[in-house]
Amino acid sequence: MPKIVVHADVGSELARTEWESDTTHSLFSGTSFPGTPSEMDLFYRTDEHIWYIYNGSEWKDLTGAGVSTFVGLSDTPSVYTGVGGYFVRVNSTPDGLEFVQYVDHDSDLSNVSADDHHSEAHVLAISGPHTGTLPLTDLAVGTQGGIIRRGGADWEEYALGTEDYVLKVGATDVVWGQVDWSELANKPSSFTPSVHEMVDSIHTDTGLTIGYVIRASGASAFAWAELQHGDLGGVTSDLHHNEAHVLAVTGPHTGTLPLADLAVGTQGGIVRRGAVDWEEYAIGTENYVLKAGATDVVWGQVAWGEITDKPINPIVRDSQKNQQLTGTGETEICAYTIDATDRIMRVAVFFRVVTATTTVTVKIYYTNAVSQAVTCTLVDAKSLAVSDYTYAPLIFEIDASTEISLRVTAGTANQVYVTGTIEEMV
């Protein structure tokens, strides 16, 4: 039985007073539907004041009121927004209605030919669906100033021509063009042109350069141009010019030439006599000096041998302090490549053995002044106890542009720390 009335529990027997009591019986109701209904269950929504019946899948309104708007139906669009002026038609499925903006001439209209009741702009054509008079308003909009002419294949819009051109008849067509003097009829055999005045209101030009003048460029031609020095009559090349002066051995000037007459140049540059003439010599590399060569002056560095009365104090070229020998292979401590001059060099070494006794080898590699490769062994695989060790510096002459290298080998890793220097004496 469908649920309609809810009975209160009054025990095993129901008295008359209990049957007639309002508190014993009540409608099956509430403000929300029950969670597990059965088909044909009835329920009264107290918040809506409406009876519902469950049809096995959903609760249905029993009042018969249904929906009150078109968009409230289940097989119609849900909103009117954005579809003002649209049409309603059955969708293609077909299982509902839909809004469409346009009616399709071919599929939505029956018994209507393509020539009937359409608002398309008409294309200009020799043959077409229309007979009789065609209103101008039926033509496609086109471009302002265009005209309609019969083209090679059909009627067509002929765009506006170049400004001040006229429509001229050709051999087989009409075209925009200019009228030649020979095409004018009844023209006078001669005429006197008006007197021209060079005033802004009559003559104008664009793209001019300040200071240019109208200069004859030929017997019958002229153009805007700078006035050339050769155009001046009775003026020699030495008179009345303000060109920047080029530095030259010979020139138009005699006497003193003011510095202000020279071309600006680049900051820091100097004037020197080059291979051909006086010229600007650009600033050199920072800290370089101007040195005299065999035939010229150049920017360059001052070599040690070019310094006179210099002190004999040695120059430290490379050094290393307290370097730990982390392996047992030969390790380079210091190295230096000599410049293009033979040098007298001095190499000094100090090392410390820590933790336990180990073997130590100290060698110096260089090329002597007669280009012979030399290996000088200061310490040769000597077993040394934990202590500090230093040796008298080794002094020797080394060949130009060669390398000197101080290298040390330890028999045990991480037990020897080395300090060394390579010094240039002379």
Q: Is the pLDDT of residue 308 over 90?
A: no
Q: Between residues 217 and 383, which one has the greater pLDDT?
A: 383
Residues in Cβ contact with 47 at an 8 Å cutoff, skipping those fewer than 6 apart: 31
- Read off the tokens for 234: 């009775």
**In the Cβ-directed half-sphere of 134, how many Cα atoms lie within 13 Å?**
15
Q: Is the pLDDT of residue 309 over 60?
A: yes
- Estimate to the nearest angstrom the gap between the alpha carbon of 171 and the chain centroid: 55
Sort 344 into a burial class: Cβ within 10 Å, 0-12 / 13-18 / 19+.
middle
- Predicted confidence at residue 242, as pLDDT, reads 56
Taking Cα atoms as reference points, which of 173, 171, 192, 189 lies closest to residue 181?
189
CB 78 within 8 A of CB 65: no
Q: Is the pLDDT of residue 85 over 70?
A: yes
Collapsing DSSP to helix, strand or coil, 262 comes out as strand
CB 310 within 8 A of CB 384: no
CB 71 within 8 A of CB 83: no
- Predicted confidence at residue 383, as pLDDT, reads 96
From edge to edge, which strands make up the β-sheet containing 331-337? 331-337, 403-410, 358-367, 373-384
pLDDT tens digits for 376-386? 999 999 999 99
pLDDT tens digits for 122-164? 555 555 555 566 666 667 778 888 888 887 788 888 888 888 8
**pLDDT class of 115 with cuts at 50, 70, 90:** low
pLDDT tens digits for 408-424? 999 999 999 999 999 99
- Strand ranges for 234-342 from DSSP E: 270-273, 278-281, 289-292, 297-300, 315-324, 331-337
Q: Residue 158, Cβ neighbours under 10 Å: how many?
A: 17
Q: Is the pLDDT of residue 371 over 70?
A: yes
Percent of the chain at pLDDT > 90 equals 27
pLDDT tens digits for 91-106? 989 889 998 887 665 6
- Predicted confidence at residue 2, as pLDDT, reads 46
| Whole-angstrom distance, CA of residue 147 vs CA of residue 149 | 6
> Can 5-61 and 315-424 be said to share one CATH topology?
no
Q: Residue 103, Cβ neighbours under 10 Å: how many?
A: 10
pLDDT tens digits for 173-195? 888 889 888 888 888 877 666 66
Q: Is the pLDDT of residue 366 over 80?
A: yes
As its CATH architecture, domain 5-61 has: Ribbon (2.10)
- Predicted confidence at residue 1, as pLDDT, reads 39
- Predicted confidence at residue 137, as pLDDT, reads 64
| Whole-angstrom distance, CA of residue 156 vs CA of residue 141 | 12
* CATH superfamily, domain at 315-424: icosahedral virus (2.60.120.660)
pLDDT tens digits for 261-304? 677 788 888 888 888 888 888 888 888 888 888 888 888 888 86
Lowest mean pLDDT among 44-48, 358-362, 410-414: 44-48
Q: Once rounded to an integer, what is the mean pLDDT over residues 335-347?
A: 93
Taking Cα atoms as reference points, which of 411, 405, 391, 300 lies closest to residue 351?
391
Q: What is the pTM of this model?
A: 0.32
Helical (H) or strand (E) element with 18: helix 16-20
- Predicted confidence at residue 357, as pLDDT, reads 96
CB 51 within 8 A of CB 3: no
- Predicted confidence at residue 122, as pLDDT, reads 56
- Predicted confidence at residue 386, as pLDDT, reads 96
- Predicted confidence at residue 190, as pLDDT, reads 73
pLDDT tens digits for 235-265? 665 555 555 555 555 555 556 666 666 777 8
- Read off the tokens for 309: 């009365």
Domain boundaries, the chain: 5-61, 120-177, 254-302, 315-424
Q: What is the mean pLDDT of the chain?
A: 81
Collapsing DSSP to helix, strand or coil, 358 comes out as strand
Q: Residue 6, Cβ neighbours under 10 Å: how many?
A: 11
